[in-house]
């Protein structure tokens, strides 16, 4: 998979892409992640990419030319008015007005060979970009970020870790929260007794059937208490 991120803050991504599972996935050649500075596609002096909002109002709005030019140059063909579309590629824009990101949606995105992620500023991106360039709009929750960058990072992290071969123990992915509509069960490790806080006996029993039963029970209890909506699905 190839992921292209278009942003006016490319430096924000360096630390995130350079560590942990995302780093290893790139090193293994399982994903290629390119970060593009939108300002490089401005075409204007001082690499300006925004302008005041027509009709008035506070804040600046990102102009369409730079964004169309960036995406068309990344993909290598014109998208409008040519309207050429490739079902193996998707252009994603992050906005609180988008559809809420879920594990299901992340899994669906795995079918794409290439994803172009557009990070905007909340106040302003020219609507023509959303209407004629973007394939899907994604929100990571009902709150407002100052820009789409943190949302793009969340999206990249969630998708990269489920690319086959990235996480070696695929069981750990299957068992975790949201893969089964249940929240994850509680985990314990050494020491068995920490300041008189003891690990549940059943986990030390070696009885795998009983351990499975205990974990299922705890996962159900936790889901009922915190996310009853998941049980309705
Ligand atoms: N940009 C600003 N807020 C956002 C959110 N909640 N999700 C995705 N992109 C955003």
Residue 179: its pLDDT value, please? 75
- Mean per-residue pLDDT for 43-53? 94
Mean pLDDT over 117-133 rounds to 91
189 and 85 together in one domain: no
Tell me the per-residue pLDDT of 153-187, one tens digit each, with 9 for 90 and over.
999 999 999 999 999 865 566 667 777 889 999 99
pLDDT at 95 over 70: yes
pTM of the full structure: 0.94
Instruction: Tell me if the bond preceding 68 is cis, omega within 30° of 0.
Output: no
Q: Is the CB of 44 under 6 A from ligand 1?
A: no
CA of 194 to the centre of ligand 1 (A): 40
Q: Is the CB of 7 under 6 A from ligand 1?
A: no
SS3 148: coil
Residue 206 sits in a domain whose CATH number is 1.10.1270.20
Number of domains in the chain: 2
90 lines ligand 1 (CB under 6 A): no
**pLDDT (average), residues 12-24:** 97
DSSP letter for each residue of 176-230? STTTSSSPPPP---S-SEETTEEPPGGGGS--HHHHHHHHHHHHHHHHHHH-HHH
Residue 124 contacts residue 59 (beta carbons within 8 Å) = yes
In a domain, 59, yes or no: yes
> How would residue 9 be classed by pLDDT, with cut points 50, 70 and 90?
very high
Q: Which residues span the domain enclosing 219?
A: 175-232
The closest alpha carbon to 187, from 196, 175, 195, 179, belongs to 175
Distance 186 CA to ligand 1 centre (A): 30
Give yes or no for a cis peptide into 48 (omega within 30° of 0): no
Q: Residue 31 domain-assigned?
A: yes
pLDDT at 121 over 70: yes
132 lies in the same domain as 68 = yes
Average of per-residue pLDDT across 3-24? 97
Mean pLDDT over the full length of the chain:
94
Pair (208, 127) in one structural domain:
no
pLDDT at 175: 63
Confidence of residue 124 (pLDDT cuts 50, 70, 90): confident
Question: Ligand 1: does its nearest atom lie under 6 Å from the Cβ of 154?
Answer: no
pLDDT band at 47 (very low <50, low <70, confident <90, very high): very high
Query: Ligand 1: which of 92, 95, 101, 102 to mutate, judged by most atoms within 8 Å of the beta carbon?
Result: 95
Higher-scoring residue by pLDDT: 225, 83: 225
For residues 123-149, average pLDDT: 95
Six-digit token pair at 133?
Answer: 């360039």
Q: Which CATH number characterizes residue 140's domain? A: 3.40.1280.10
CA of 197 to the centre of ligand 1 (A): 40
**The domain boundary residue, chosen from 99, 132, 160:** 160
Answer yes or no: do 104 and 151 share one domain. yes
Question: Looking at the domain assignment, is residue 168 inside a domain?
Answer: no
Asked if 149 and 44 sit in the same domain, the reply is yes
Give distance in angstroms: CA of 137 to centre of ligand 1: 10
The CA distances from residue 174 to 31, 164, 170, 180, 207, in Å, are: 21, 12, 6, 8, 22
Centre a 10 Å sphere on the Cβ of residue 5 and count the other Cβ atoms it contains: 25
CA-wise closest residue to 154 among 23, 22, 6, 2: 22
Give the mean model confidence (pLDDT) for residues 205-222: 98
In a domain, 127, yes or no: yes
């Amino acid at each position: 998979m190839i992921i292209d991120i278009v942003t006016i803050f490319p430096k924000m991504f360096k630390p995130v892409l350079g560590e942990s599972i995302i780093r290893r996935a790139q090193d293994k050649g399982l994903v290629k992640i390119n970060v593009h500075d939108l300002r490089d596609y401005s075409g204007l002096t001082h690499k300006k990419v925004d302008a005041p909002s027509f009709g008035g109002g506070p804040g600046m709005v990102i102009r369409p030319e730079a964004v169309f030019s960036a995406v068309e140059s990344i993909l290598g063909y014109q998208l409008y008015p040519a309207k050429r579309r490739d079902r193996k590629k998707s252009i994603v824009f992050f906005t609180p007005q988008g559809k809420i990101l879920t594990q299901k949606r992340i899994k669906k995105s795995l079918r794409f060979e290439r994803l172009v992620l557009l990070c905007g500023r909340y106040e302003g991106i020219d609507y023509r970009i959303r209407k004629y360039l973007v394939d899907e709009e994604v929100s990571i929750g009902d709150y407002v970020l100052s820009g789409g960058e943190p949302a793009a990072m969340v999206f990249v992290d969630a998708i990269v870790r489920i690319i086959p071969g990235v996480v070696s123990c695929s069981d750990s992915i299957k068992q975790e929260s949201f893969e089964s509509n249940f929240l994850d069960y509680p985990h314990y490790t050494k020491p068995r007794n920490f300041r008189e806080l003891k690990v549940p006996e059943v986990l030390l029993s070696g009885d795998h059937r009983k351990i499975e039963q205990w974990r299922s029970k705890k996962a159900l209890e936790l889901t009922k208490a915190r996310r009853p909506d998941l049980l309705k699905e």
